[in-house]
Amino acid sequence: TQLLEQSPQFLSIQEGENLTVYCNSSSVFSSLQWYRQEPGEGPVLLVTVVTGGEVKKLKRLTFQFGDARKDSSLHITAAQPGDTGLYLCAGVYAGGTSYGKLTFGQGTILTVHP
């Protein structure tokens, strides 16, 4: 069974602080996606990374894909209360039997206090 370890599970910070969320696996991904989920809603795609070493920025969010495509990180600069939510990483493993199957991490619940 392929596992995607996401950490930390919980993060409680003050407005203006920086934070990083990590996703790690022992297996290689063909692509990895980051989602954000609000209560009562489904996950909403933030970004997809495909190439090893790739860095993508979305305003104050920076996403990085490891060179070996086994890990990824999400960094938020100067967090705001509006960033509060559940962040999920999800990957498609290289060589998997199903090109469409996403494996999710357990998620990081972020709370940003004013």
Partner 1 sequence: EAGVTQFPSHSVIEKGQTVTLRCDPISGHDNLYWYRRVMGKEIKFLLHFVKESKQDESGMPNNRFLAERTGGTYSTLKVQPAELEDSGVYFCASSPQGPPYGYTFGSGTRLTVV
- Tell me the closest approach of the beta carbon of residue 1 to partner 1, in angstroms: 11
Given candidates 20, 31, 73, 84, which one binds partner 1 under the rule CB under 8 A? 31
Q: How far, CA to CA in Å, does 52 sit from each of 11, 28, 55, 103, 109?
A: 27, 10, 9, 18, 26
Q: Is residue 42 within the footprint of partner 1 (CB under 8 A)?
A: yes
Q: Is 103 left (phi over 0), alpha (psi -120 to 50) or beta?
A: beta
Q: Is residue 109 within the footprint of partner 1 (CB under 8 A)?
A: no
Please give the residue ranges that form the binding site for partner 1 (CB under 8 A): 4, 30-31, 33, 35, 40-45, 48, 50, 88, 90, 92, 97-107
